[in-house]
Amino acid sequence: MSALTKTDFNFPGQTQVYHGKVRDVYSVGDRLVMVASDRISAFDVVLPKGIPFKGQMLNQIAAKFLDATADICPNWKTATPDPMVTVGLRCEGFAIEMIVRGYLCGSAWRAYKSGVREICGVQLPEGMKENQKFPTPIITPTTKAEIGEHDADISKEEILAQGLATPEEYALLEKYTLALFQRGTEIAAERGLILVDTKYEFGKHNGEIYLMDEIHTPDSSRYFYSEGYEERFNAGEPQRQLSKEFVREWLMENGFQGKEGQQVPEMTDEIVEGISARYIELYEHITGETFKREEGEDLHSRIEKNVCEYLNSL
């Protein structure tokens, strides 16, 4: 199984390229060509080996959910010319990520367990337990970090004070975030899943706010299985979940949390294949569809061919 961990395209009309943690974004005129690589990141660190089919899965899940939420707010997607590529409108992104949480878990639970009762200006009730549902979903934004830096929590008041969004813009960002999360929650419920938390990125195109990047993928979201949730919660047992958390847990078990001086544990072929299998499980549960492996020795050439054909047809 081959994995695409690096791209170096030169598409017709290309003016620049940005290599992110997982996605490589090529600027072509007023459009962006976003290639979902097979790279995997955790704790804001790109791990040394790629995960076969991961990019295809993330791209196809995101495309499906962008289409399924287009009635809520405009989004950047215009085409998916390759299983690993989305082409869309160039937007000027807000320097924040809108994180919305329906349940107390992950980093929020770790902070809560240590005694924290306010996250991003949001007061948390006393006496909550791990994986407990919030009375209503909460929004806990973060700043958007550069590669190698950590995202930082930020409150609505700080966002407004720093001019990262106007009051009117932030009100719309909140409205879109909660509406998208509600739709994602409903779709997940149809699949026997609980959408626990997720993040959205927004930008402006011609003065209008658009949803950008991925949506409701296992890289940006956490899902629990609905079946057994109550029983496990009442017993204080870990939830069965569909997310990238299993990768973070494996790293933590092996002494890595992205801190200075820590080494990424060895990613054996068995570990890589296991992560790939988990991502396929994620895909099939989240979409309700069987994953079709787009096998091919030379992923780079296939992507180049498909994207160039699309761009030349415009």
Average pLDDT over residues 74-99: 97
Average pLDDT over residues 76-87: 97
Average pLDDT over residues 258-263: 92
pLDDT band at residue 218 under the 50/70/90 scheme: confident
pLDDT recorded at residue 147 = 52
What are the C-alpha distances in Å from 29 to residues 11, 16, 251, 314? 11, 10, 40, 11
Residue-wise pLDDT tens digits, 9-67: 999 999 999 998 899 999 999 999 999 999 999 888 999 999 999 999 999 999 999 99
Instruction: Please report, rounded to a whole number, the percentage of residues in the chain having pLDDT higher than 90.
Output: 84
Assign domain 93-243 to its CATH architecture.
2-Layer Sandwich (3.30)
| CA torsion through residues 139, 140, 144, 148, sign | negative
Side by side, the strands of the sheet bearing 14-19 are: 14-19, 23-28, 31-36, 85-89, 77-82
Q: How far apart are CA 152 and CA 203, in angstroms?
A: 19
pTM > 0.85:
yes
- What are the extents of the domains in the chain? 93-243
Residue-wise pLDDT tens digits, 167-193: 999 999 999 999 999 999 999 999 999
The more confident residue out of 135 and 218 is 135
Residue-wise pLDDT tens digits, 107-154: 899 999 999 999 999 999 999 999 999 999 999 999 986 655 567 999
pLDDT recorded at residue 192 = 95
